[in-house]
Amino acid sequence: MYLENTAEILTQYLSLEKEQILQLLERPKYTNYGDVSFPCFTLAKELRKSPLIIAKELSERIQHPYFREVRNEGGYVNIYLQPGLIYNETILDVMSKQEKYGSSTVGEGKTVVIDFSSPNIAKPFSMGHLRSTVIGNSLGLLYEKNGYSTTKINYIGDWGTQFGKLMAAYEWWGNDEAIKEDPIRELLRLYVDFHEEAKEDPTLNDKGREWFKRLEDGDEKASKLWKWFRDLSLVEFNRIYDLLGVSFDYIQGESFYNDKMGKVVDELKEQKLLEESEGAHVVSLGDEMPPCLILKSDGATLYATRDLASVLYRKKEYKFDSAIYVVGQEQTLHFKQVKSVIKKMGYDWCEQFLHIPFGLILKDGKKMSTRKGKVVLLNEVLKEAISIARKNIEVKNPTLMNKEVTAEQVGVGAVLFHDLKHHRIHDFEFSLEDMLAFEGETGPYLQYTFARIQSLLEKGKFTFSKEVIPSDESDQLEVTKLIARFPLIVEKACEDHDPSLLARFLLDLAKEFNSYYHAVKIIDQSSFQTARLQFTYAVGVVLKEGLRLLGIGAPKRM
C-alpha cells in the first residue's frame, strides 16, 4: 500500500499517471538509500534536462507528511517514509483481510484455461514432468488470487506411434504378472527395450506403426491394450497428484480430440490454407518460420492438428479470455506455428493463445530421456524427501503429533520449492542433495519460519484483533515494507507467469523476519509484546498464503 500512496503523492509533482509512476518506483538495494526510489531517466527527454538535475529539483520540491525525508542520489529521488505510518496501514490491511490479503479483482469476469502437466501414459511420472505440473498449478492459484476464473486441464499423451511400439513390445516380451506387480516400471522397461532392439533391427519400427494403425482403426485387441495401459497410468498419476496437492477440472488426452481433428482439416481446406508438400499437407507460414505440418503423407494427424483442435474446442466450450499452455521451451517453434495458423484462419482471438515455456531439469548437464532410460522418477524423489523429513522430525521433535502428515508437507514442499525458486525459463541441474537440504533457500526453511511464528504466538498467548496497536519500531520497518509489497508481487508473478518471483519474495521475507527475531525479544512481558505479536502474526499470514500460492503446505509445528 505504501507504494500506491507514494505514487499518488508523486502525481502532484510529475506529469505522469499514478499507474505509470507505480511501474517506475523501485526498492533501493541498500536501506541507506531510502525506502523507495523514483528514477528520473525517463523524464530526461521530456524535460530536456539531465536525470541528475531533475532528481535534485524534485527532491527539493517534494514535501508531504507521509515522507520523513526526500534526497537525491545521482538520477534518483530517494524517499524515506514515516515508519509508523507504513506499519499501521500495512498491518491493518493484513489484519482486516487475513488470507485474502494480496487478492485483486484485476481478472474479475475473465476465464483462463490452463493446460499443464501432460505426462504420457505407460511411462513413469519423471522429474521431467515436474516443472509443467508445479508451475501450471501455481499459475492457476495465482490467477485465482487475482480474480480470474480458471479451467485446469491435464492434456495427457495417450495417442501416437509410441503406443504402437509399446504394444509390439508387449506382444513379444510382455509379462502380465510383472505388469500387475509394478505397472509403470515394467511398461517403461518394454518401451526402452523396444528402442534398443530397433537400433539393431529398424524393421521393428514398422511393427510399431502397424499396431498403432490397428488402434486407429478400432481393432479390438489394440483398443483393449491401449485402455489397459491408460487406466494403469492414471491410477499412478493420480496417486502422485494427490501427494503434490494438484487437481484438474478435466483430463483430456490427445485421444479426446480424435473426432474433432477432421473439422479442423476441413476448415483449413475450405479456406484454401492447406497445401500439398511432398505428399503431406501443410499450412505455409511465409518466410517467418517453417510450414506447419497438418497431415502426414499417409493421412495421419500430428501434434499441430491436435493442438488446433484443442484450442478451437476450448474456445467454444469454455469461452476463455486466455488459453495458456505450460510446455517446455523446446516446443516454442511448434506453438508459434499453431498460433500463426489460428491467425491465418481468421480468429481475432489468436493473441489469447499463449505458450508459457520453461527450462529443463538437467541430469549431468543433459536432458532426461525416457527413451534412453535416463530418467529420475518423481515418485522415488518424493519418497526420499518424505523419508528424510521423517528422520529429521524423529531427531528434533519426536513427540510431534501427526508426524506423517508433517513429513509429507515438508518433504513434498522441499521438492516443489526447489523447482519454483528457479526463474521459469532457466535450466537447472537435478541435485537430490540440494533439493532435500533443510537449511538455506529451501521450502523447509520457509515452513520452519512459519512454525516458529506459530510457536511464538502460542507462547505469547496471542489473541487476534482487527484493531492494530500502533508501532514505530525501526527494527520492524524492512519486514513491514516487504509485507506491503506482497500484493504487487502476487500480481506481477501472475502477469509474468513466473512463480519464482513469489518464491524469492518469500525467502526475503523469511530472512528479514528471522533477523528481526534474533535482534528483538518478542516475548518479554513489556508493553511492546502485544504489538510485536500482532506484527509476527501478520508475517505468518503472508508466509502461509504465499506458500499456498506455490502449492506448498505450512505445518504449524515441525
CATH number at residue 419: 1.10.730.10
Residue at which a domain ends, from 38, 62, 81: 81
Provide the residue type at 355 as one letter. Answer: H
pLDDT at position 123: 83
pLDDT at position 50: 96
d(CA 465, CA 533): 11
In a domain, 484, yes or no: yes
- Using only C-alpha atoms, the chain has a radius of gyration, in whole angstroms, of 28
**Of the candidates 330, 100, 118, the residue with the CA atom closest to the CA atom of residue 241:** 118
* Residue-number span of the structural domain to which 54 is assigned: 2-81
In a domain, 68, yes or no: yes
DSSP-derived secondary structure for 428-446: EE--HHHHT-SSSSSHHHH
CATH number at residue 76: 3.30.1360.70
Residue at which a domain ends, from 32, 59, 81: 81
- Intra-chain end-to-end CA distance of the chain, in Å: 33
| Burial of 278 per CB tally in 10 Å (0-12, 13-18, 19+) | exposed
In sequence order, what are the residues at sequence separation of 6 or more whose Cβ sits closer than 8 angstroms to the Cβ of residue 406?
389, 393, 400, 555, 557, 558
Other beta carbons within 10 Å of 83: 19
| Burial of 369 per CB tally in 10 Å (0-12, 13-18, 19+) | middle
At 203, list the grid cell: 524393421
The CA distances from residue 299 to 82, 131, 253, 285, 542, in Å, are 71, 34, 21, 21, 55
pLDDT at position 2: 87
Other beta carbons within 10 Å of 507: 19
pLDDT at position 369: 59
In a domain, 44, yes or no: yes
DSSP-derived secondary structure for 453-520: HHHHHHHTT----SSPPP---GGGHHHHHHHHHHHHHHHHHHHTT-THHHHHHHHHHHHHHHHHHHHS
pLDDT at position 161: 86
Contact of 25 with 3, CB cutoff 8 Å: yes
The number of residues in the chain equals 558
Helical segments of 520-528, H only: none
Per-residue pLDDT of the chain (558 residues; tens, 9 = 90+): 788 899 999 999 999 999 999 989 998 988 889 999 999 999 999 999 999 999 999 999 999 999 999 999 999 999 999 989 899 999 999 999 999 999 999 999 999 999 999 998 888 888 888 999 999 999 999 999 999 999 999 999 998 888 999 999 999 999 999 998 888 889 988 988 998 999 999 889 999 989 998 998 899 999 999 999 999 999 989 999 999 999 999 999 999 998 999 999 999 999 999 999 989 999 999 888 999 999 988 777 788 999 999 999 999 999 999 999 999 999 999 999 999 999 999 999 999 999 999 999 887 777 765 555 566 788 889 999 999 999 999 999 999 999 999 999 999 999 999 999 999 999 988 887 787 776 789 999 999 999 999 999 999 999 999 999 988 888 999 999 999 999 999 999 999 999 999 999 999 999 999 999 999 999 998 889 999 999 999 999 999 999 999 999 999 998
**Of the candidates 90, 241, 144, the residue with the CA atom closest to the CA atom of residue 545:** 144
The CA distances from residue 458 to 57, 176, 247, 455, in Å, are 51, 56, 33, 5
pLDDT at position 30: 86
Q: C-alpha angle 453/458/463, rounded to 5°?
A: 100
What are the backbone dihedrals phi and psi of residue 66, each rounded to the nearest 5 degrees, phi first? -70, -25
pLDDT at position 29: 85
pLDDT at position 124: 81
* C-alpha dihedral sign at 128, 133, 138, 143: positive
In a domain, 505, yes or no: yes
Query: Strand, coil or helix: what is 69?
Result: strand
Pairing mode, strands 250-251 and 149-154: parallel
Residue at which a domain ends, from 81, 109, 134: 81
* C-alpha dihedral sign at 183, 185, 191, 193: negative
d(CA 527, CA 533): 11
In a domain, 27, yes or no: yes
Provide the residue type at 200 as one letter. Answer: E
In a domain, 196, yes or no: no
Alpha-carbon dihedral 80, 83, 89, 93, rounded to 10 degrees: 100
In a domain, 99, yes or no: no
Predicted TM-score (pTM) of the model is 0.91
Q: What number of helices (H) and strands (E) belong to the chain?
A: 21, 14
Q: Which helix (H) or strand (E) holds 76?
A: strand 76-81
In a domain, 371, yes or no: no
At 530, list the grid cell: 502485544
pLDDT at position 370: 52
d(CA 492, CA 318): 25
d(CA 151, CA 250): 8
Q: Domain total for the chain?
A: 2
Provide the residue type at 157 as one letter. Answer: G
**Of the candidates 84, 61, 51, 56, the residue with the CA atom closest to the CA atom of residue 10:** 61
- Sheet (strand 292-295) strand order: 274-277, 280-283, 292-295
d(CA 189, CA 372): 10
